[in-house]
Amino acid sequence: MSFTVYLICIVGMGLVTYIPRWLPLIWLSRREINPLFVRWLKFVPAGILSALVLPSLLMNPATRELSLSRPEFLVAMPTLAFGWWSRSLGGTVIVGMLLFFLAGKLL
């Protein structure tokens, strides 16, 4: 492919990526948003993160079976509790890594 085709492809990908982000931002910046909708939007990041992380904690990738005895899930529960209790991102990461290391040695 020629340079112009690559350039058109890159510009097209940029437009497809940024236009869907800019349009709602521009459209909603001039309007008063319902407080109930704003409150609902605050739950979207947690919902998306849960949808991305939970399957990898509960499902065996080889068999696609749900299991509550997977080491990832067993480590995630006390790590989540520590993070909730301490509110420390660094401490939660360290505790999670330590617990995952120990789970690998013991289980």
Residue 5 confidence (pLDDT): 93
List the end-to-end C-alpha distance of the chain, in Å, as a whole number: 52
Reduce the DSSP state of residue 71 to 3 states and report it. Answer: helix
The answer on 96 and 67 residing in a single domain is: yes
Please indicate, yes or no, whether residues 91 and 67 belong to a single structural domain of this protein: yes
pLDDT of residue 52: 93
Number of domains, the chain: 2
The encoded tokens of residue 17 equal: 């990526």
Domain that holds residue 72: 44-106
pLDDT value for 27? 87
Is 15 among the domain residues? Answer: yes
**Strand ranges (E), the chain:** none
Domain assignment present for residue 37? The answer is no
Q: Are residues 49 and 100 in the same domain?
A: yes
Q: Is residue 39 part of a domain?
A: no
Whether 50 and 86 share a structural domain: yes
The predicted-structure confidence for 36-48, as pLDDT tens digits, reads as follows 998 999 999 999 9
In a domain, 69, yes or no: yes
Same domain assignment for residues 13 and 61: no
Residues in the chain with pLDDT < 70?
none
- The pLDDT of residue 67: 85
Closest alpha carbon to 71 in 103, 97, 45 = 103
| Residue 12: predicted pLDDT | 96
pTM value? Answer: 0.61
pLDDT of residue 64: 84
